[in-house]
Amino acid sequence: MPATYDITKIENFEHDTDTGFGNSLVQIDDTHFIFAYSGSGSDGFIRTISVDENGENMATIDTLEHEISFADSNSFVKIDDTHFALAYTQNAGVAYIKTFSIDGNYDNITQIDSFQFETANAGANSLVLIDSTHLIVAYAGANNYGHLMTFSFDGSYDNIAKIDDFIFNTGGQSWTNSLAKIDTTHFILSFKGDGGDAYIGTYSIDGSYNNIAEIDTLEHDTTNLHTSSLIKIDDTHFFLACAAKDNDGYVKTFSIDGSYDNIALIDSLEHDTDNGTTPSVVMIDSTHFFLCYTTTDNIGRAKTFSIDGSYDNITQTDNIEIVSLQNSVGHSVIMLDNSKAVDGYSGADNDGFLQTFSIDVPPEAADTGFLNMF
């Protein structure tokens, strides 16, 4: 019987019994992951988690409280198996980039360096690793202007420094950004632009990580963009999950040409006509995707989608409720391997939760190692 990409819940783990907002999860390997979140007192925490090969028996390995004065808009990325970088916003919109290390046992989380990149009114951070010593972040700054900023750090993951700052949007509200890397000098961004409308933009940097420039923008929804999650399928195709008109949930595919220009909408599916906020989407394989988001009454849902070989004809393949409780918001999804995923979210009583899932994929897809290509 062919695989259906059906979703099965494996285990739900309450990792923080106080607070668990603003999750940003990163896979380390098939049985370990690390994430940043806002915990007790809205302070900033980094936590490592182990899980067995069946997606069960989640356990906390180590926790570091790296910020004691509020941490919001977390965007966490992996540099290598033992080093990570975080963009987040502190009180009054002061924004920081930090680097962290763990040891070979996924333990002893240590802050290496901290760099303040915005002094006020920052938020909606979306951080991307360019290469082993460079980062780029999209964020909203003063006057709701949208910024792209590049950074360097040294071979010891220390001495973070700003390289360039580019304002990509002056007429919108810029409070939802989802940035993805195309290659080491080109990037694609989902953002809220003029009038709060939904835009996709492509951008370049030079070989010195400088001179950020806009290549093309597309206004793909003329009503309103609330939240979005953009991922790369391949060098010229992309998948977007977003909440747009009336907070409804949409998934869309886009293309660009070989010059990173001429952004075009291929297909759009309105998958939730009530609410589709705080989406987080990941790629299962080249034609299938896994999404967690918040629907009506703050109930979390998980769905899978397929596209055809032309990146068209988006179809919903499965749909389940994450937990039979309300208040499932702020999702961050990663794949543990090609058939298992984990979602970090704020659940009942605003506590921090992690939910693992299995996805019914064909053996040939599970064996490709597709997720590790990018």
> What does the pLDDT look like over 54-75, one tens digit per residue?
999 999 999 999 999 899 999 9
**Dist. CA 188–CA 169, nearest whole Å:** 14
* Long-range contacts of residues 41-47, Cβ cutoff 8 Å, at least 24 apart: 41/68, 42/70, 42/71, 42/72, 43/67, 43/68, 43/69, 43/70, 43/71, 44/68, 44/70, 44/71, 44/74, 44/88, 45/16, 45/71, 46/76, 46/84, 46/86, 46/100, 46/109, 47/15, 47/109
- Per-residue pLDDT of 235-287, as tens digits, reads 999 999 999 988 999 999 999 999 999 999 999 999 999 999 999 999 999 99
Query: Does the pLDDT of residue 374 top 50, yes or no?
Result: no
Q: What is the pLDDT of residue 366?
A: 57
CA 258 from centroid of its chain's CA atoms? 25
Quote the tokens at residue 54.
């069946």
CB contact at 8 A, 246 and 295? no
CB contact at 8 A, 285 and 296? no
| Helix locations, 282-367, DSSP H | 363-366
Tell me how far CA of residue 345 lies from CA of 26, 240, 326, 353, in angstroms.
14, 20, 12, 5
Quote the tokens at residue 257.
């040409």
**Dist. CA 72–CA 95, nearest whole Å:** 9
Query: Does the pLDDT of residue 155 top 50, yes or no?
Result: yes
- Per-residue pLDDT of 88-140, as tens digits, reads 999 889 999 999 999 999 999 999 999 999 999 999 999 999 999 999 999 99
Q: Is the dihedral of CA 263, 258, 166, 149 positive or negative?
A: positive
Residues 199-205, mean pLDDT to the nearest whole number: 97
Domain chopping of the chain, boundaries:
7-373
Nearest to 210 by CA among 130, 302, 105: 130
| Helix locations, 130-216, DSSP H | none
How many helices (H) and strands (E) the chain has is answered by: 1, 28
Query: Does the pLDDT of residue 319 top 80, yes or no?
Result: yes
Quote the tokens at residue 52.
């067995």
CA 192 from centroid of its chain's CA atoms? 16
- The structure's pTM equals 0.95
Q: What is the pLDDT of residue 365?
A: 63
- Among 2.130.10.10, 1.10.1740.10, 3.40.50.880, 3.40.50.300, name the CATH number for the domain at 7-373: 2.130.10.10
